[in-house]
């Protein structure tokens, strides 16, 4: 299956934080031919293992996407909602959504019309608490007949689309792109005789606290780990290279530091391992120092007595919007980098042990 096809299947799926069951089932189907073992732990992480020797390598990509949840149902049938994960409120207004009750119901996000706003109101961006969802119902009773209640999850109604060349746009590419990379690695490693145990983990609830990474890493207790996520590209209007020098189409971004050091400071040995692999196999990479967010790596590297951890990220534009953009060539190069690094992990691991 092509990278585009896998990304479309995963990006078009709907699973907000804490409700990852459907994406977990899809991942299970996609990896079943490439694993020695697939299991789902108590929190809902999917753990896929190939190989059975030392060292133990963990790859983590989160399954959840930022979403919404029904907070209150108005008597006239409109839904008030809360955010799940980090949203910039302005991207929500006028979006089509799916409300995932007993069946999937379409809706739209609306607000007070600008035609009846006072002049000072029109100058202020609309906050999410002043928005509502219209599913076409006439009353709260009609809403509940649709199987919708307080706590029902909501996702955006978007599908992956091709742009020019090798670039695509869609929702939840953060971090379905990472999942595609991990599945691609499993496919490549399945054809090789690997001298390691590789655990690919689809983690839950990353967007709301890196929760699944923390518990799955504790169970696996890896010798080395890599988070596979997306990172902010600074190659479009409104952002400068001093904010982010990362560009689409120039290869995966290897994290050096994220969150101004409050997240991950990549272990020097892991950083050298990734850089040397890229140089040896002539894989284009970018080095990423970020003052913003972090990834599952921040939770993994603090597991038990500590885990040497790094992060390899696919450059992406417009994160946490319905129109995230990535370059498929970056995904292919991420798969290549991770696969080659793992195939040589015994060489790296034994050298470091000596």
The Cα–Cα gap between 40 and 160 comes to 27
Phi and psi at residue 353, in whole multiples of 5°?
Answer: -65, -35
The Cα–Cα gap between 239 and 233 comes to 9
DSSP structural state of residue 131: -
The Cα–Cα gap between 157 and 174 comes to 16
Contact assessment for residue 274 and residue 341, using Cβ atoms and an 8 Å cutoff: yes
Strand partners, 16: 65
Spatial strand order of the sheet with 324-327 comes to: 161-162, 167-170, 324-327
Q: Verify whether residue 353 is a known catalytic residue.
A: no
| Given 20, 206, 247, 324, the catalytic residue | 206
Strand partners, 85: none
Phi/psi zone of residue 79: left (φ > 0), alpha (ψ -120 to 50 degrees), beta?
beta
Q: Give the catalytic positions in this structure.
A: 206
């Amino acid at each position: 299956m092509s990278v585009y096809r896998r990304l479309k299947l995963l990006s078009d799926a709907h699973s907000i934080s804490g409700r990852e069951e459907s994406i977990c089932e899809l991942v299970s189907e996609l990896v079943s031919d490439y694993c020695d073992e697939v299991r789902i732990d108590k929190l809902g992480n999917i753990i896929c293992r190939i190989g059975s020797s030392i060292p133990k390598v963990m790859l983590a990509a989160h399954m959840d996407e930022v979403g919404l949840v029904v907070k209150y149902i108005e008597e006239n049938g409109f839904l008030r909602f809360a955010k799940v994960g980090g949203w910039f409120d302005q991207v929500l207004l006028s979006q089509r959504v799916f409300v995932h009750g007993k069946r999937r119901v379409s809706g739209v996000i609306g607000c007070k019309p600008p035609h009846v706003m006072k002049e000072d109101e029109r100058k202020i961006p609309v906050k999410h608490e002043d928005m509502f969802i219209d599913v076409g119902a006439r009353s709260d009773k009609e809403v509940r007949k649709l199987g919708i209640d307080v706590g029902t999850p909501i996702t955006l109604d978007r599908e992956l689309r091709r742009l020019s060349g090798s670039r695509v746009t869609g929702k939840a590419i953060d971090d379905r792109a990472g999942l595609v990379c991990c599945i691609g690695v499993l496919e490549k490693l399945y054809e090789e005789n690997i001298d390691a145990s590789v655990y690919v983990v689809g983690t839950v609830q990353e967007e709301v606290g890196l929760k699944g990474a923390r518990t799955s890493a504790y169970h696996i207790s890896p010798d080395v780990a890599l988070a596979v996520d997306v990172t902010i590209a600074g190659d479009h209007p409104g952002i400068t290279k001093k904010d982010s020098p990362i560009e689409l189409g120039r290869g995966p971004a290897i994290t050096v530091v994220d969150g101004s050091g409050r997240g991950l400071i990549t272990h020097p040995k892991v950083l050298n391992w990734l850089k040397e692999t890229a140089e040896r196999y002539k894989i284009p990479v970018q080095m990423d120092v970020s003052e913003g967010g972090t990834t599952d790596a921040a939770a993994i590297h603090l597991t038990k007595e500590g885990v040497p951890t790094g992060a390899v990220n696919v450059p992406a534009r417009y994160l946490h919007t319905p129109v995230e953009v990535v370059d498929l060539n970056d995904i292919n190069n991420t798969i290549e980098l991770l696969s080659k690094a793992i195939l040589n992990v015994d060489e790296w691991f034994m050298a470091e042990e000596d």
